[in-house]
Amino acid sequence: MAASINDISEMLQNLVEDTSIPKNIRKALSDAKGRLDSNEEKNVKISAAIYLIESISEDINMPPHARTQIWAITSALETLA
């Protein structure tokens, strides 16, 4: 299971580094990655990451490719919760 969290963290990092994504969205994704990488209890960090990602998932300024990746990340996190 830790490998899955690491994979999701890498996916988030790729989105954070994508400069075609608006800064406010990259900030929320970076915060979600920070929560996933923290030493908190597994369910707490997954729930916090889902909350942060869902808060920006419907942002009108998000490029379509990023939205698709965010949906995939959210699905992966929900399977771990």
Give per-residue pLDDT as tens, 52-63: 999 898 889 999
Domain ranges of the chain: 2-10+22-80
Virtual CA dihedral for 66, 68, 74, 79, nearest 10 degrees?
-140
pLDDT at position 57, please?
86
In whole angstroms, give the CA distance from residue 6 to residue 40. Answer: 15
Q: pTM for this structure?
A: 0.88
pLDDT at 1 over 60: no
Q: Which residues contact 43 (CB under 8 A, 6 or more apart)?
A: 81
pLDDT, tens only, 3-17: 588 899 999 999 999
Q: Which residues contact 61 (CB under 8 A, 6 or more apart)?
A: 22, 25
pLDDT at position 4, please?
87
CATH code at 2-10+22-80: 1.20.1440.50
pLDDT at 2 over 90: no
pLDDT at 31 over 60: yes
- How many helices (H) and strands (E) the chain has is answered by 4, 0
